[in-house]
Amino acid sequence: MNREIITSSRTGDSCIHVKHKSGLDIYIREMSGFSSVYALFGTKYGSVNTTFKVAADKEYTEVPNGIAHFLEHKLFENEDCGVFELFAATGAQCNAYTSFDKTCYLFSCTNNYTENLRILLDFVQKPYFTKENVDKEQGIIGQEICMTNDNPEWRVFFNMLRGMYHNHPVQIDIAGTQESIAQIDADLLYKCYDTFYNLNNMTLSIAGNINADEVLAICDEMLRSCEDKGLETIFPDEPETVVQAEITEKNAVGASIFHLGFKCRPDKRNFLKKEMTASLATSYLTDASSEMYSRLLSEEIINATFGGEVFAGDGFFSVILSGESEYPHKVREAVLAEIRRISAEGIDEKVFSRIKKATYGDLVRQLCNVTAMASAMLNTHMAGFRPFDVVDIVSELTAEDILGFIRNELLPDKTVLSVIEKI
């Protein structure tokens, strides 16, 4: 095993990275004095990865939408008993999630972390799919799709994505559709499992009251060696233009809600820097002390729900402003006017300094949070970076970086306004 200690030159915090002989990347953060443990076992496989091949394949395989999420559900069911019962017997909490570009299985506990780690590594490496349990799951996930389709927050978000992306599969619901999941069978699940759940495509991240040598001994015991199959995933070409500038629906909501999205250009090579630049630019634009925010609030065009976030991943990148408003078009007008003003007048250095310090402080505080640290180690690795890179990147960002992003990426012809109006 190649074992290295990664240390932040700015904070002195460190973690251990091991490239295990099985092919798995392992990140360990020993946090003495903490009572809890948080672990994630993840694969770089999400809902957008529907077209792929390995080195031995002549052609790409295309699979139905929703299969990554379907597979996550099925791994919790093995031949003997349910995985939840195994974790419950140790006093641990377990869960899993499928996002657009990854799937993770996790547990948190205060005791018996070695036993829980064995359970985690065991069940994720033991798929069990039959026609009967796949048919049963189709009904369960079908109900889940119906529930999310009725969720206004879900609809306003995906309507925005459908207005933004022509071809990229990020516009498709993570769970797929009733029609797409009906095409899933046990053979397809095994094919996707064998392709994406290869340990060379996976990461184990664990933080808290643990001992690195114990963790690695369990990994030696539980992990099976995997040959790197040379996995390739591709996405259809995506134009820089948006599909539709505005999408409106009516629903039984207490207050009308909106998502104002800016379609930005993805940058895989400099992903982390662009993500953090976008994050600070978004915070600057939605700052509660700004004249725009105060005016919109006093005129009751927005309320305290107004805010922004960066939504980015493999082949997609956007900034989203959202909240409750009966006047979403006025919000859009005000935001675009503020972008024009900032582009012409520049960044207020005092405001920028405050936002940057707050962001840096949040990142440093996360280094003392078991859950946040385990998640950060996994997420940065899957994005192609090292755990403490984000601290260095934020510390080096300048007002000119933020201004450049606002001028070059937050463009009026790249906006999509998605609204769910109150009936």
Instruction: Supply the pLDDT for residue 78.
Output: 72
- The partner residues of 39 in beta bridges, in order of sequence, read 107, 206
Q: Running DSSP on this structure, what letter comes out for residue 236? A: -
Angstrom distance (rounded) from CA 3 to CA 20: 8
Contact 339, 321 (CB under 8 A): no
So what's the pLDDT on residue 82?
A: 78
Catalytic residues: 72
Give dist(CA 105, CA 82) in Å, integer.
14
pLDDT at 79: 64
Name the token pair of 265.
Answer: 């250009």
Residue 148 has a pLDDT of 87
pLDDT, residue 252, reads 87
Q: Please name each of the domains of the chain with its CATH number.
A: 2-233 (3.30.830.10), 246-422 (3.30.830.10)
3-state secondary structure of 258: strand
Residue partners of 138: CB distance under 8 A and separation at least 6: 181, 182, 184
Residues of the chain where predicted confidence (pLDDT) is lower than 70 = 1, 79-81
Q: Tell me the whole-structure pTM to 2 decimals.
A: 0.94
Question: Which residue from 290, 261, 38, 285 is spatially nearest to 164, judged by alpha carbons?
Answer: 261
Dist. CA 279–CA 262, nearest whole Å: 13
Pairing of strands 202-208, 25-30: parallel
Rounded CA-CA distance 125/179 in Å is 29
Tell me the HSE value of 42 on the side-chain side, using a 13 A CA sphere.
29
Q: What is the three-state SS of 346-399?
A: CCCHHHHHHHHHHHHHHHHHHCCCHHHHHHHHHHHHHCCCCCCHHHHHHHHCCH
Q: What are 161's two structure tokens?
A: 């994505």
Dist CA 92 CA 110 (whole Å): 8
AA letter at 207: A
Residues 6+ apart with CB under 8 A from 333: none
Per-residue DSSP letters for 119-180? HHHHHHT-----HHHHHHHHHHHHHHHHHHHT-HHHHHHHHHHHHH-SS-GGGS-TT--HHH
Q: Which two tokens stand for residue 190?
A: 């095994």
Tell me, what's the pLDDT at 77?
78
Q: Which amino acid is at 422?
A: K
